[in-house]
């Protein structure tokens, strides 16, 4: 893993890059978009494990911290939804420049899944595939509160934008939430202990079956 800083002078972001193994001829890249707030902390070990497994399968992988979170610059309360969206776009550009890969795969969890869904819905032809792991969506009125999402943030309007997602998109549900999927979207259920729950993080639980499901989908 190679930790580094990227972005503008005014908005420095922390990134963790895992190069593809082996690197020769690797033309696949994955951008991992993390949850927000406490869920980010609890899910960190799982996403680190996912990045390592993907790099071993020949993917270049970049994880990043949104501005004012984790090891990125900024203070609490200085970020908002538009800023987080801009952070994702900066991370995508950085990964493309680092690897030369034109079409990026997105894997987002919770808030990160909702953010990635909106980003890829706007530019579906520039995306290789999208994995939405237990996304926060407007159908779940309590989801944002459970994830400590600030009130000035929004969540992905699934019913409005699902048809605009990339052709290769996966909705991965592990937390038992039920969605009314009316669009032709691949949906998989991988029942496990959600890694973004505090008690599961403390127990050291890693949802290996769900991680393998993501890897199989991307390959």
Q: 49-100 pLDDT, tens per residue?
A: 999 999 999 999 999 999 999 999 999 888 888 899 999 999 999 999 999 9
Contact predicate 67/88, CB 8 Å: no
CA distance 202 to 69: 21
- Residue spans of the domains in the chain: they are 2-218
pTM: 0.89
CA distance 89 to 84: 9
Mean confidence (pLDDT) of the chain:
83
Fold of 2-218: Rossmann fold (3.40.50)
CA distance 6 to 67: 11
Among candidates 109, 59, 83, 75, which has minimal Cα distance to 7? 83
CA distance 153 to 175: 22
pLDDT grade, residue 184 (50/70/90)? low
| Rounded to 5°, angle at Cα 45 from 50 and 149 | 100
């Amino acid at each position: 893993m190679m930790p580094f800083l990227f972005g503008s002078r005014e908005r420095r972001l922390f990134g963790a890059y895992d190069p593809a193994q082996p690197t020769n001829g690797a033309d696949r890249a994955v951008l991992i978009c993390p949850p927000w707030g406490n869920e980010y902390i609890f899910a960190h070990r799982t996403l680190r494990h996912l990045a390592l497994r993907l790099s071993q399968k020949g993917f270049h992988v970049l994880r990043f911290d949104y501005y004012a979170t984790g090891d990125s610059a900024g203070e609490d309360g200085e970020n908002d939804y538009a800023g987080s969206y801009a952070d994702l776009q900066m991370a995508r550009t950085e990964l493309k420049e680092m690897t030369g890969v034109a079409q990026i795969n997105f894997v987002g969890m919770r808030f990160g899944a909702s953010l990635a869904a909106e980003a890829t819905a706007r530019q579906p032809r520039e995306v290789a595939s999208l994995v939405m792991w237990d996304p926060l969506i407007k159908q779940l009125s309590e989801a944002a509160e459970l994830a400590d999402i600030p009130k000035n943030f929004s969540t992905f309007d699934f019913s409005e934008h699902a048809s605009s997602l990339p052709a290769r998109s996966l909705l991965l549900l592990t937390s038992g939430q039920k969605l009314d999927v009316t669009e032709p979207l691949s949906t998989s259920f991988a029942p496990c202990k959600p890694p973004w729950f505090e008690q599961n993080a403390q127990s050291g639980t890693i949802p290996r079956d769900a991680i393998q499901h993501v890897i199989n989908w991307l390959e």
